[in-house]
Structures are given as C-alpha cells and as structure tokens.
Copies of this chain bind each other. A is one copy, B any other.
C-alpha cells in the first residue's frame, strides 16, 4: 500500500535525522532551556521580524491549541471558530476540557470572515442577555484550513482589524503552515502573521519533523507564565532539545520552505491529473491537500493500492476524499497515483 491519507506517515527529514545522530550523546539542560531551543527561537524571531516574540516548542497540535487557548481565556470566555475547525470537530473536546466553549460558525470553505466574527460578538455580547452567554474573546483560524484553503493577506488584515476593534485575540493554527506559505496563491508571510496575530504556531509534525509545533506569541497577555501552562497540561518535554534541534534544522537554509514547496508541486501534479480527468474537487486548493469527489466504485479500486481519508459523502454514489502529499512524498509514488487515477477514471 502507498499511503496518501495524511501527511504524517513517515519519520523526519534526513537533515533532522542526521543532527539527531550527531548530537545524541551531548549533555544539555532539560525542558527546553538548551542551546538548540534558543537558536531555533532566534531564527523564528528573525524570520518574523520581531525581537519581542516569545517562542515555545510543543509536541503536537492539539496540545498547542489547548494550551494557547487555556492560557488566553478567563473562565467565562470562549473562542470563535469555523464549524469545521479542528478544535471544534477533531480534538475530542480538548478545548472544552479546559473549560471553554467553542463558538462555532457555519463555513463552507473552512474559513471565517471578519463580518462573521463581528456578528458573533454582537449576538453574544450585545443581545441584552450578556452574562448569560459566553463572552467571545479569541478567534481561532487555521491556515491552511482543514479543507486546504488559504486566507489572503487582505482577509487576515480584516480579521485582525475586527479582533482589535472588539478586544479579541487572533490565534492562527499553522499545523500545515509551510504548505500554505509556499502555495502558489499565497500572499502572506511569517512577518504578516507576527504582525496580525496575537499568537500562531508553525507546524513541524506535518512538515518534516518527527513531531513539534513552534508556538509564536506576540501578545504578553497570552505569553505570561506560558511555561507553567505547558507543564500543567503535560506538554513540557523533558528532553526539550529534541524540539529545538528539529526547528533549528528546519529553519536553516530555508529547509522548511523548500520541502513544503516540493510537496505542493507533487500535489499540483495530482490536481492536474484530476483536472484532465474532469474530476471535480470539493474545494479548490493549491496546498498539499486535495479533495476530489469520486464515485464509490473508483474509490474501491483505488483503495486496493492507495490510502486516502474520508471527507464526506456527496451523494448516493460519490464521496469526497482527501489525498495528502507531504515533505516525504516521492515522485515515484506521485506518478503511481496519477497513473492509477488515469487508469481507473480515464
């Protein structure tokens, strides 16, 4: 079987592995207070163009989400997110387990608009029922979204503006950020994110690392005592250097960006094949996730050789599924998938 159902099927990029080998028996302080974490944080701050950013390295995305949100909110405050938001659907209620409600907003493309945010604030805060309703205090977006779509710079500017107007934090989940930043249609930079978001994270797990997410905090109200929050939620890695070393490697010689760009090119090849076959997509995209709508019989055939993940049933005979490329996807496997698509559907 060739696995295309997600972007975390393999280990890590060879450069990371090489450095793990090289540094294995070095002695360092624990809990992220080592030279590798410092170096990685410095590189991220430089790329973001802000010396005052706090950078923390966590093991995974759900952990990052719940820790950031819990650090930011008082008990009665909630976080606005799209109905398809990972925190709303696929984290087993991790945010609620910290005591906070996700205020879900319908969305067909996985994105939130500034006017949707404004509407939620007005409904929750200004309806007269006030203290009987959860007070919105944070906006959660993912970029790329769970559907592989991207926010434009203008959309982010608008979201940031509405957040500032209503005193909300803007939090961007960048579990697949590399693929977003390197997408053809993207016009957003790390510097933009550092300027527009109160907090965001740069995903490593899905972009070349064994594991790890780099949480970048620009707003002191969220960042204060953040290490306590990490520890309390069980996210403080004893050998924290493993996280630092991985991000230090990813942000050396643009590795992070190169491997993401390469994965997008592989995805483009698959998208082109689908287009040639007149296969519709559930949502268009230019990142590493592809959501074709395919007949059940074809999926049965393809499923004998390739894995993909189920997205949703579209009609009685068709389902939308997801194929992912990643930093690790080979040209060979991409060619095999394209050939199979042509063979089955051509």
The residues of A with any CB-CB pair to B shorter than 8 Å are 1-3, 6, 8-12, 14, 17, 20-21, 23-30, 59-67, 70-71, 74-76, 78, 89-94, 96-102, 104, 127-135, 205-206, 210-211, 225, 227-239, 242, 310, 328
Contacts and interface: CB of A to CB of B under 8 A. Distances in A.
Nearest to A59: B59
A263 to B, nearest CB: 15
Which has the most chain B C-beta neighbours within 10 Å: A27, A127, A211, A235? A27
A234 B60 contact: yes
A160 to B, nearest CB: 24
Contact of A242 (B2, B90, B131, B211): B211
Given A60-B234, A234-B233, A237-B60, A228 B9 contact: no
Contacts of A238: 8, 60-61, 205-206, 211
Contacts of A310: 127-128
Q: Which 3 A-B residue pairings sit nearest by Cβ, starting from the closest?
A: A63-B234, A76-B228, A11-B24
Contacts of A9: 27-30
27 contacts: A3-B29, A9-B29, A10-B26, A11-B23, A11-B239, A17-B21, A59-B234, A59-B237, A60-B238, A62-B234, A63-B234, A63-B235, A66-B233, A67-B234, A75-B229, A76-B92, A76-B231, A78-B96, A90-B129, A90-B133, A92-B232, A96-B101, A101-B102, A205-B238, A211-B238, A211-B239, A233-B234
Contacts of A130: 227-228
Contacts of A10: 24-27
Contacts of A21: 17, 21
Given A60-B238, A211-B239, 7 more contacts: A17-B24, A59-B59, A59-B237, A76-B92, A93-B134, A96-B134, A233-B234
A231 B93 CA distance: 9
A118 to B, nearest CB: 16
A60 B242 CA distance: 13
A262 to B, nearest CB: 15
A123 to B, nearest CB: 10
B239 A132 contact: no
Contact of A76 (B127, B129, B225, B235): B225
Nearest to A99: B97
A94 B59 CA distance: 17
A345 to B, nearest CB: 24
Nearest to A26: B10
A231 B62 contact: yes
A126 to B, nearest CB: 11
Contact of A75 (B25, B71, B129, B206): B71
Nearest to A78: B93
A346 B225 CA distance: 44
A271 to B, nearest CB: 22
Nearest to A94: B232
A97 B232 contact: yes
Contact of A132 (B8, B59, B74, B231): B231
